[in-house]
Amino acid sequence: MTEANYTDIAYETIDSAAVITLSRPKQMNAITAHMGIEVRHALARAEDDKNVVGIIITGAGKAFSAGADMKALQQIGQAGGLDEFNKNKQHNESELHANPGNLDVPEGFSKGTYSFFASISKPIIAAVNGPVAGAAMSIILSADMRFFGTSGFVTSSFPQRGMVAELGISWVLPKIVGPDNALDILWSSRKIFGNEAKELKLATRVYPDEDLLEESVVYINHLAENCSPVSIATMKGQVYRDLFRDPTESFKEAHRITKAALKTEDFIEGVKSFMEGRKPHFPRIGRD
């Protein structure tokens, strides 16, 4: 995966973390089709980079993302729907073509606009630094964890725009906050800020705004120093496959995977380092 000049996002690495920043600050980082393509490319790049153990997605300036770009949406409405709208556009995105996602997860995840995050073999943290509206909810719900700044908030906006629950949000959200809170969030569109988000379990963590990015990097660094990247990837796949699977299938797979893990170098090093009272050294995932 080569470097690329992004226009709608920024990409950098800090310590063991890749930081992808949605970056159209004048439009509150509203999502465009092109931004989606860049995010996908950047995730492939991070997955492929041996120095990267985990990925952080955040927003430039005061917003995370205002959701779908309203001007684009209005044009879509005026054009009579999405297909007609797309006919009027030409993308030449071949330079940004990417095919990330090494984990085996259900097709619904791997082929979804953002839900393919589940197939990325490295942890993805959404660092929610400001408003997350509409379709942008799918970005943070597709991340493995959601770290909120206290000023970060979610607002669905769907029924205010005559829209529906896009991109699988109606599947994921009730599994995180329960069906009643999911309907409340989707319907009322009231703003759920960091502390309430933590209470509702929508936020995995909440931090003071000024510490949000640093704490996210610290989290990834902790994994980098202590964990087998292969273990992390394997367990991520297990959790997403298990979200909708017969327990019998899951338990059988766990048995098979555990037996296989017992034969790996990572397991031998993991036990050895523990017995010797030192930190383990595990190989990274990706290329130099």
- Options 7, 62, 81, 91; binder of its own copies; rule CB under 8 A: 81
- 132 pairs with which residues across the strands? 65, 154
Cβ closer to its own copies: 99 or 262?
262
Interacting residues with its own copies between 195 and 224 (CB under 8 A): 201, 204, 219, 222-223
Is residue 102 part of the contact set for its own copies (CB under 8 A)?
no
Cα(164)–Cα(225) distance, rounded to whole angstroms? 43
Contact criterion met (CB below 8 Å) for 218 and 211: no
Other beta carbons within 10 angstroms of residue 1's beta carbon come to 17
* Binding flag, residue 96, its own copies (CB under 8 A): no
Smallest distance, Å, CB 6 to its own copies? 26
Site string for its own copies, 129-168 (x = CB under 8 A): ---------------xxx-----------xxxxxxxxxxx
CA angle 255, 220, 166 (to 5 degrees): 75
CB 122 within 8 A of CB 55: yes
Q: Which is nearer to its own copies, 100 or 134 (CB)?
A: 134
- Alpha-carbon distance of 191 to 193, in angstroms, equals 6
Total site size for its own copies, rule CB under 8 A: 98
Q: Hey, which residues between 3 and 32 contact its own copies (CB under 8 A)?
A: none
Residue ranges in 233-262 that form contacts with its own copies under rule CB under 8 A: 234-236, 238-240, 242-252, 254-255, 257-259, 261-262
Which of 25, 82, 91, 99 is the binder for its own copies (CB under 8 A)? 82
Dihedral of CA atoms 20, 42, 167, 57 in degrees, nearest 10, equals: -10
Q: Which of 95, 104, 211, 265 binds its own copies (CB under 8 A)?
A: 265
Contact with its own copies (CB under 8 A) among 1, 10, 33, 70: 70
Binds its own copies by CB under 8 A, chosen from 23, 227, 285, 286? 227
- In angstroms, the Cα distances linking 68 to 38, 105, 214, 268, 272 are 15, 26, 28, 48, 50
Q: Which helix (H) or strand (E) holds 37?
A: helix 33-48
33 binds its own copies per the rule CB under 8 A: no
